[in-house]
């Protein structure tokens, strides 16, 4: 089985209602807050601030989002080193940034702590994550690797020539070279942990370049490659995918861009271009076209002749992996069966203990991992398990959805949400056709 880094590519808010979990506070947060304040157990300063805001805005308690799938794999710290959305640093804040969200706000980019992050420094950090002999598990937003709005991509300047982490079709997670001063990927700011200490903070280092990866002076394009990674680098990951119907993800993401939650996320405007389905589909199709994934699908029985000839091992040696797509609703309905299939495909021994993470050690680890994107994942810190959804999941009518969004966000916002949902359904349904079936 390949030991390549696992890359779970997704779109924003893919798991927000995918999980039914036991709350860490069975009563309103007043029941948990004194213990948290007294012990500082798993809580960061942003988390404590969020608890206080829940007391001021009790309606937030009624609209909590369950944890991302990353939390399941954080329970396997014996074999995995998880990295939670690392490429957003370069996409939003660094000199190779692709997003326009902070294009005119240098102060916000510097304050983020990631204004010097490039796609290479992130790869350096991921490489270092594997130095402990563990396999790297990356959960990230696919559109962090693609220019927005369908703009043709060029390879990021710092990734020209590839990277040690993904050299070759099968990568030993503990064979990279040392990285100067790098610690684990999640949550670190400018300084030695964010690239080379010799260049960080250098006044000559660019902090103002917007869209520089795809500027006219960069001729590092690869035909048909929609990403800023060279194709051979893409071959170095074991790709998997996580999706959720846009009727759930889009309003959830919208909520993160308006008060009071926007005070924590720092995202003060909803951008439909960040929905992420188009980019996820284009990445998926390119990997499929290049033979990096497929044609076999996760969970499908291998034909007899292929099983007898062990053709699956031949595909792995060639750098291919089965098409592995999880739909959040399927996971919610049958988490154990879906995760068993997923683990088999990526070469992880499944354990029922992966569905439980309520102990203080796991809570502390998750709090540290999610702190960088805290406003988007504050609820994950309070979760303790993943269990099947109870009862039948009724799909609301379009009229009911529109009315719900209108009541929550107003007429104009409801129209924007509806337009964004409708614009992304086709891409979702296409990816859904490849989803694991159990």
- Sort 21 into a burial class: Cβ within 10 Å, 0-12 / 13-18 / 19+: buried
Nearest-10 Cα torsion for 199, 206, 102, 116: -10
Residue-wise pLDDT for 64-106, tens only, equals: 444 456 667 777 888 898 888 999 999 999 999 999 999 999 9
Task: Give the H or E element holding residue 160.
Answer: none
- CA-to-CA separations, 385 to 136, 342, 364, in angstroms, rounded: 22, 18, 15
Residue extents of the structural domains in the chain: 6-395+426-432
Q: Once rounded to an integer, what is the mean pLDDT over residues 7-11?
A: 95
Longest dimension (CA), the chain: 64
Predicted confidence at residue 312, as pLDDT, reads 52
* Between residues 1 and 291, the one the model is more confident about: 291
Task: Tell me which residue has tokens 């660019």.
Answer: 206
With a cut of 60, say whether residue 405 has pLDDT above it.
Answer: yes
* β 80-84/238-243 pair status: unpaired
Residue 138 φ/ψ, nearest 5 degrees = -110, 125
With a cut of 70, say whether residue 107 has pLDDT above it.
Answer: yes
Q: Once rounded to an integer, what is the mean pLDDT over residues 249-263?
A: 93
Predicted confidence at residue 378, as pLDDT, reads 52
With a cut of 70, say whether residue 62 has pLDDT above it.
Answer: no
Average pLDDT, the chain: 76
Residue 337 φ/ψ, nearest 5 degrees = -65, -40
CA 30 vs. chain centroid, Å, equals 31
- 417: CB partners within 8 A, 6+ apart: 250, 251, 254, 405, 409
Band of residue 299 on the pLDDT scale cut at 50, 70, 90? confident
Residue-wise pLDDT for 318-353, tens only, equals: 557 999 999 999 988 898 999 999 999 999 999 888
Residue-wise pLDDT for 169-203, tens only, equals: 444 433 333 333 334 343 333 333 333 333 323 33
In 88-175, DSSP assigns E strands to 135-141
Band of residue 1 on the pLDDT scale cut at 50, 70, 90? low
Band of residue 244 on the pLDDT scale cut at 50, 70, 90? very high
Percent of the chain with pLDDT over 70: 64
């Amino acid at each position: 089985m390949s030991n390549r880094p696992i890359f779970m590519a997704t779109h924003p808010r893919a798991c927000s209602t995918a999980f039914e979990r036991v709350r860490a506070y069975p009563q309103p947060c007043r029941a948990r807050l004194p213990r948290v304040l007294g012990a500082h157990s798993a809580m960061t300063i942003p988390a404590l601030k969020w608890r206080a805001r829940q007391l001021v805005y009790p309606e937030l308690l009624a609209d909590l989002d369950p944890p991302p799938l990353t939390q399941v794999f954080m329970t396997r710290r014996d074999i995995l080193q998880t990295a939670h959305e690392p490429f957003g640093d370069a996409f939003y804040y660094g000199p190779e940034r692709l997003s326009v969200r902070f294009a005119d706000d240098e102060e916000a980019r510097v304050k983020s702590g990631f204004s010097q992050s490039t796609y290479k420094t992130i790869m350096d950090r991921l490489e270092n994550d594997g130095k402990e002999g563990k396999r790297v598990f990356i959960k990230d937003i696919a559109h962090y690797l693609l220019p927005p709005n369908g703009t043709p991509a060029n390879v990021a300047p710092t990734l020209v020539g590839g990277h040690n982490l993904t050299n070759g079709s099968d990568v030993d997670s503990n064979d990279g070279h040392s990285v100067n001063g790098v610690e684990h990927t999640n949550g670190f700011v400018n300084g030695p942990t964010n690239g080379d200490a010799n260049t960080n903070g250098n006044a000559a280092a660019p902090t103002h370049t917007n869209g520089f990866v795809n500027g006219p002076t960069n001729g590092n394009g690869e035909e048909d490659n929609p990403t800023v990674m060279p194709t051979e680098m893409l071959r170095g990951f074991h790709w998997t995918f996580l999706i959720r119907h846009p009727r759930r993800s889009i309003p959830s993401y919208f909520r993160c861009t308006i008060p009071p939650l926007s005070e924590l996320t720092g995202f003060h405007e909803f951008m439909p271009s960040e929905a992420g389905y188009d980019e996820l589909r284009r990445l998926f199709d390119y990997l499929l076209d290049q033979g990096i994934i497929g044609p076999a699908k996760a969970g499908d029985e291998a034909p007899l002749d292929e099983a007898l000839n062990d053709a699956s091992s031949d595909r792995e040696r060639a750098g291919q992996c089965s098409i592995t797509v999880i739909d959040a609703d399927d996971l919610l309905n049958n988490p154990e069966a879906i995760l068993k299939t997923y683990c088999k495909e990526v070469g992880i021994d499944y354990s029922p203990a992966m569905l439980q993470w309520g102990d203080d050690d796991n809570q502390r680890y998750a709090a540290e991992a999610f702190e960088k994107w805290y406003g988007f994942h504050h609820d994950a810190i309070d979760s303790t398990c993943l269990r099947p959804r109870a009862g039948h999941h009724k799909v609301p009518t379009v009229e009911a959805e529109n009315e719900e969004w209108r009541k929550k966000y107003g007429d104009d916002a409801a129209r924007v949400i509806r337009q964004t949902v409708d614009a992304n359904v086709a891409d979702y349904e296409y990816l859904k056709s490849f989803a694991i079936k159990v």
